[in-house]
Chains A and B, each alone.
Chain A
């Protein structure tokens, strides 16, 4: 792309339970850690995007959070907003930031997220079911987020013969990566097996407990800049080579298809804009609230044949040492799902792999990576392609 844009710096707080902190407290922790890690000056932040962190409190007391944040920082940005697109919020933030930078509105945009996760057992799951299903035409049927995603899994099983064991393989792979990531909530745990996943508590067929991501709290910062600014932060920024987005529905029964989801169209745009093809991609970081998601998205991103996602994960290719690493930080399944901020984690990891900052889990070949996130009930999709060369 002309006027290269890059992720110049990333920072993510360790996911965990922070019961005494509000969403905004977490935001302040994220910003403090980011400023300290990257020696950022006020003039380095010309734009600021943030997301409400109020999901756990049952509302959006944070709907103007960008104002609070730029005032706390003491900056007067040229470009700022609070936006929300669920898990795809941060992928879309990076895209909005890139457009602003290419347009010359700002040279740098700080994308921020902090998240608290509603406690599932204390009315949180009902609150979230109301948030993600149609009040009139879905919620009265006893909707529940895992059961909504399970519709995607059941349909995939019907159309392609995918098995519950193949979904479990996704969780097994993510756990292997988490065991290499000291920040992952499951870092100190045991490896998973397909039998352990299938033997865990049934939630909504075909999902058992370990097919579901782990609710935690956290947050992250991603600084998107022009190439010139990026070089001041890093000798190897993560260049944004391509991007695409697609919004197909809000409520799952309105999805045009459950097996060809918006990911496909977001991915196609990202490839078209780069001239790259799936064979150019070295690794993938894919939003995985449930085990089914990476399996379907690998197909929709053209990284394996349609219907062969199950075989791909069964082959072990996605695991450490495999031919095509997926979710190298442990995924939301084993790193942790930080609620409002969850869509940050795969962007931070994708950038770290490109920048060579991934520690023990650094891939040998990480020249080009793809980062896919979605929001809502597979409603909105963001695909980013990151690379070492502009």
Chain B
């Protein structure tokens, strides 16, 4: 979900326009036309990504910590020089960075008003400060915080005043302006609305299809157990991170790493049901209780990921993918392969549900677990299968989305969770095929809405749809009305 920000920063600062219109580029153009502030802001977000210097670019960066040593979040900086003006904001870890495209001297200004409560610059005279950079290198610009000689009162703040603000790594994923899929582009960079429409349409279909992999699992789990699994997003993250580890740590070929990631993700589903959910069912823990357990699990897993892999993007593949064009739409080979894999997988899942004995038993459990149990189906076995299948599908979704969107990240699945819920609700809670249809709709809404509303609000558009569906058709698109009481 996230590589986007940094890639986009690069695409508009360093890459020549020959990188023919990625979606990101389009949206940058859109943002550019919006306002200068908008530009500054989007760059600010981009800058929280860790910048990596290339032959044509250089980085200016730093980490800002409070007097107490906590990272200072949300501090705004402006970088000016060599005909460029950039903005940066410190991320949750207090780090900031900016990517510049020409060597020279830049002046970095820290906006003191954005410092956390009670914090001041130790050396206010040294703001702005000058930094000289060379291409292909990183240069730090440091701004130590602390008590300057004459002002003391608030400097000795206890950590409490920062609360989670200092350490909280909130779920800032959804709606970030930088998240642009890198897999699709057009062959023309003109402003033809039709071309843009077609391109967004294709992006939406692809995104929806990949999202469906995750949503179908969520829906199956809801259908068979009644559980709204808030930790399903972490299964998606797990897939992406495992693929990242396979390729980047163990040096496996992408296909092997991806397969391994899916297998391990499925195994994690099996294990999760065996270790947590089945014991809870046996204890007769209620659904609301179990739902809150999934929330705790989601929180714990997100920070486990962050603990081991940090907050930055984890790029599964670093090489530039090759593209093929279909009419006006340019798609990378990788994306074509992903779409084929997703289609084949979803077809296989449909076959499983409709034609195999276990699949039919699964649907029977979804319809009425007690009745299914009475007719000799081992409900616990089916639920175990569903957890394994659901986690495996989510893992595959994580791998493919990681490739499509450029990178996996500690919260990439969590950011998609609400879109999955929207898809599942849209299709009627618990209906696997509904989830598939719902995902496509959500994918289209997310991508097409950015034609009319600012792209950083497009996840919001999907969530508005979710609420509207609940308002007018709570049983979902494909669901049936049932008798009350």
| A-B interaction | no
